[in-house]
Amino acid sequence: MPTVRDAAVAIWRAALAAGDVAPLIARHLRVHGSRLTAADASLDLTRLQRVLVLGVGKAGGAMAQAAENILGDRISEGFVVVKDGYRVPTKRIEIAEAGHPVPDARGLEASARLLTLASSANERDLVLVLVSGGGSALTPAPAEPITLAEKQVLTRLLLDAGATIGELNAVRKHLSRFKGGLLARAAQPATVVTLALSDVVGDPLDVIASGPTAPDSSTYADALEVLDAHGVSGQAPRAVIERLRAGARGEIEETPKPGDRLFARVTNLVIGNNALVVEAAAAAAERLGYRPYVLTRALQGEAREVGRDLVERARLLPGPVCMIAGGETTVTVRGRGRGGRCQEAALAAALALGPDDDLVVLAAGTDGTDGPTDAAGGCVDAGTIGRGRAARQDPERALADNDAYAFLGASDDRIVTGPTNTNLLDLYLVLRP
């Protein structure tokens, strides 16, 4: 019988395996003789002039590899941008790496390359777009006169202020030549099929990687409200504020909205989401003798508060039980330490655990990265705080300084997976024997 901690890790591994992109791509991209079925589109390969593959996001490399396995030499050309370390071997599709979560010059070059390739398409071409979380930061294409440096400043401000991914992307879409349906506009009049992995609660297509081929439901006014709500309007670069205000006044064209004719030949489909990992976690927990209790697939809120709340909720459940939650929390950065939302939630949970608590709490990102660190998250128990103190770490100070990475390293409670080549939000497990 595995220990409770071993069981938590085993459940996490089983959930992660369910996010493998290869079978997800194979389910929605099929070739039968001369016909290609892609999502809801059925196309005659003999009538297609070219098949172009474009991709953005942390899982983009794995998605491209899976598409190559199905389409082979039918792919005319392809280009995909991924986060550093997420490159995989491909034959016909070129893969480039760029900065995440803060965009860099490599991403600027990659987004220009993607726009050029999309713009080369004609009405006899298929543009297959592979989208996953992280794609928004990886494709900075600032609308003039905004510079990359100004977008970097704004991204850091919003991340540190605890903006949600939906809020962050509402702003990004209105400062971009790529996001908010503009990649689809560049690809006109080609047939565009987008297969997306959702890293966003509720799976809104216009928020996943800022919806490069999806109608945009947000507006310039919404973007201004995000900056005001998080108190960063006064710190944001002047060019950003001026553009958003001009757009809100109707002086700059809005992003394409639902019903726009440009989407007549565009199909967007979510092929995987957090339900996959939550359901796999529940099945794995049951196999190991724990009653699965799915709390939610829409977990949100300040990470440290979520960590404490999970402990309080789990104390009310009779064991053996595995409480499961999926979602994405936020961190309002006030300190100078390192960490991420999952590590911060784990450290807060550890501080909430008493010496007699028999709970094990695991919080980790399915993409393998939690914040700007090499850890996916953390797995804590009643001994975590003592182990950290023995290593001369102060848990309260670490939490106040947003330095969960250092503390969990000292207590030997980090989860490190390396690149997972998928991205289906975060998974939270609380086990009670």
Q: What is the pLDDT of residues 295-309, one digit of tens each?
A: 999 999 999 999 999
Q: Where is 375: in which H helix or E strand?
A: none
Same domain for 268 and 315, yes or no, is: no
Residues 319 and 260 in one domain: no
Query: What does R_g of the chain's alpha carbons equal in angstroms?
Result: 22
Q: In whole angstroms, what is the distance from residue 343 CA to residue 349 CA?
A: 10
Residue 267 domain flag: yes
CB atoms within 10 A of CB 143: 16
Q: What pLDDT, on a 0 to 100 scale, did the predictor assign at position 345?
A: 98
Supply the pLDDT for residue 38.
Answer: 85
Q: What CATH number has the domain bearing residue 402?
A: 3.40.1480.10
pLDDT 10s digits, 99-118: 998 899 999 999 999 999 99
Contact at 8 Å (CB) between 360 and 383? no
For 117-122, the CB contacts below 8 A with 24+ separation are: 117/52, 117/54, 117/77, 117/79, 118/52, 118/54, 118/183, 118/186, 118/187, 118/190, 119/186, 119/187, 120/52, 121/50, 121/52, 121/187, 121/190, 122/49, 122/189, 122/190
**Does 237 reside within a domain?**
yes
| Per-residue pLDDT at 1 | 65
Same domain, 256 and 307: no
Residue 15 lies in a domain: no
Provide the domain limits for residue 164.
20-272
* pLDDT tens column, 130-186: 999 999 999 999 999 999 999 999 999 999 999 999 999 999 999 999 999 999 999
Do residues 425 and 8 lie in contact, with contact meaning Cβ atoms separated by under 8 Å?
A: no
Output the domain CATH number for residue 252.
3.40.50.10180
- Same domain, yes or no: 142 and 158: yes
Contacts of 137 (CB under 8 A, 6+ apart): 99, 100, 101, 102, 103, 107, 155
341 backbone dihedrals φ, ψ, rounded to 5°: -65, -40
Q: How far apart are CA 137 and CA 102, in angstroms?
A: 6
Contact 95, 80 (CB under 8 A): yes
Q: Which of 226, 244, 272 is the last residue of a domain?
A: 272
| 372, part of any domain | yes
Mean pLDDT of 251-255: 96
The whole-number pLDDT of residue 234 equals 95
Mean pLDDT of 54-58: 97
DSSP 255: P
Pair (359, 375) in one structural domain:
yes
Q: Is residue 48 one of the residues assigned to a domain?
A: yes
Mean pLDDT in residue range 67-77: 96
Q: Which of 255, 272, 289 is a domain's end point?
A: 272
Residue-level pLDDT at 40: 81
Q: What single string gives the DSSP state of each residue in 14-37?
A: HHHHTT-HHHHHHHHEEEETTEEE
Residue 2: per-residue pLDDT: 84
267 lies in the same domain as 292: no
pLDDT at 39: 79
Question: Looking at the structure, do residues 150 and 259 belong to the same domain, yes or no?
Answer: yes
The total number of structural domains that make up the chain: 2
Are residues 110 and 220 located together in one domain of the fold?
yes
- Asked whether residue 289 is domain-assigned, the answer is yes
Mean pLDDT across the chain, nearest whole number?
96
| 3 state DSSP class of 355 | coil
249 and 113 in a common domain = yes
70 in any annotated domain: yes
If phi > 0 it is left, if psi is from -120 to 50 it is alpha, else beta; for residue 402 that is left
**Average pLDDT of the residues in 67-84:** 96
Q: 259: left (phi > 0), else alpha (psi -120 to 50), else beta?
A: left
- Residues 262 and 341 grouped into a single domain: no
The answer on 254 and 383 residing in a single domain is no
Q: pLDDT band at residue 71, thresholds of 50, 70 and 90?
A: very high
Residue at which a domain ends, from 247, 272, 297:
272
**Residue 111 resides in a domain:** yes
255 and 182 in a common domain: yes
